[in-house]
Amino acid sequence: MKDFAGKIAFITGGASGAGLGQAKLFGGLGAKVTIVDIRQEAIDKAVAELKGLGIDALGIQMDLTNRPQYTAAADAAEKHWGAPPQLLIQTAGVNTFGPAEASTFEDYDWVLGVNLHGVVNGMVIFVPRMIKAYNTQNGTVNRDGGHIAIVSSMGAFDGFATDAPYSVSKAAVLNLGLSYYDALKPYGIGVTVQCPANINSNIGEAVKTRPASLSNTGYYVSEGTINMLKSIHAQGMDPVELAGHLKYAMENGLPVSLPHDPEAKMVRHSLEKVINFSSVEGMERVREEEKRMAEMMKNMPDGGPFGKPDPKFGPVEVFGQAKPDLEWVDTAKKKH
């Protein structure tokens, strides 16, 4: 997709962070923007901000894990703009950290529910509408029939001891996007999966949107761990700049966008690790690398790779620990 003026856009998680950045960028280029989000207050604020920028914006509150609600939101947006979106951007996502072995069913159900099944829901609800509306009229294929973007993460390329539900959800949506990229080629619908690293967003507070029905967690979460995450994310990439990387990938028909890794060095490193894991010689290389990393961490300035937490976010606590009462979890990995 090259021309965004007049296009109808539907952005999940559009009330905050990366999604709001996309709404500002594509709306600023003349797209008519629907933002959907689970938080009404954030939607109201975002819509007011977008309108203040002269952007034609509609906000709809919904939980994208709830299929009837999602379908109703798609219907309402279609009614408002008169047609389905040409630009579907699936950005909403949540995260929570803790040792994999402490994870509960609910930790998986919440994170995979939003990050994977929410995207699956978006595909099943919108893809047939987009094909019907834009790509097969009179038996012809419109080569600029629309574009679907999914925000995954650099977490898609590796496993992480304290981020299992999130990493698996992001690996899954990367794979899902690649399947749809191939499937939708004949319809002229492009697909791009963006895999960012750190973004200046509100994801540090994601646990506040966790539903009560899925509140049973094995992870230690507190205002302090949230403050720590907020301090880290404040150092991330600006959301409008991030949206610029997505625009570039969409304009050039690229199925993957690596905004923090333009030369794909980190991705190569992760894929190399998987290959190394498959041989005795490779495992030797992995152990050498682990030693090198341990040395590097020892020589890091105070606070590790993200520096000292910014006091403006309030008192901090270490995140990624298990709850203290999980007797099977190694003491060093839990709050005590």
Active site residues per annotation? 166
Per-residue binding string, ligand NAI, 206-245, x by CB under 6 A, is x--x-----------------------x--x---------
What are the Cα distances from residue 44, in Å, to 29, 89, 91, 142? 22, 19, 18, 35
Is 43 within 8 Å of 67 (Cβ atoms)? no
Of positions 8, 24, 32, 37, contacts ligand NAI by CB under 6 A: 37
Decide whether 70 or 187 has the Cβ nearer to ligand NAI. 70
Give the list of residues 6+ apart from residue 291 with CB closer than 8 angstroms, or none: none
Calpha distance 117→65 (Å, rounded)? 7
Task: Read off φ and ψ for residue 52, nearest 5 degrees.
Answer: -60, -25
Q: Give the E-state strand segments of 245-330 in sequence order.
A: 256-257
**Does 114 help bind ligand NAI (rule: CB under 6 A)?**
yes
CB of 284 to ligand NAI, least distance (A): 32
**Does 63 help bind ligand NAI (rule: CB under 6 A)?**
yes
Calpha distance 249→247 (Å, rounded)? 5
Of positions 1, 8, 11, 15, contacts ligand NAI by CB under 6 A: 15
Q: Whose structure tokens read 């998680």?
A: 13
Per-residue binding string, ligand NAI, 64-93, x by CB under 6 A, is xx-------------------------xxx
Calpha distance 15→41 (Å, rounded)? 9
Per-residue binding string, ligand NAI, 164-203, x by CB under 6 A, is --------------------------------xxxx-xxx
Length of the chain: 336
CB of 197 to ligand NAI, least distance (A): 6
Element counts in the chain: helices (H) and strands (E): 10, 7
Of positions 8, 33, 42, 100, contacts ligand NAI by CB under 6 A: 42
Is 25 within 8 Å of 247 (Cβ atoms)? yes
**Does 25 help bind ligand NAI (rule: CB under 6 A)?**
no
Of positions 74, 148, 149, 151, contacts ligand NAI by CB under 6 A: 151
Is 196 within 8 Å of 18 (Cβ atoms)? yes
Q: How many residues bind ligand NAI (CB under 6 A)?
A: 32
| Candidates 25-33, 35-43, 76-84, 139-147; binding stretch for ligand NAI (CB under 6 A) | 35-43
**Does 38 help bind ligand NAI (rule: CB under 6 A)?**
yes
Is 10 within 8 Å of 87 (Cβ atoms)? yes
Q: Which residues bind ligand NAI (CB under 6 A)?
A: 13, 15-19, 37-39, 42, 63-65, 91-95, 114, 151, 153, 196-199, 201-203, 206, 209, 233, 236
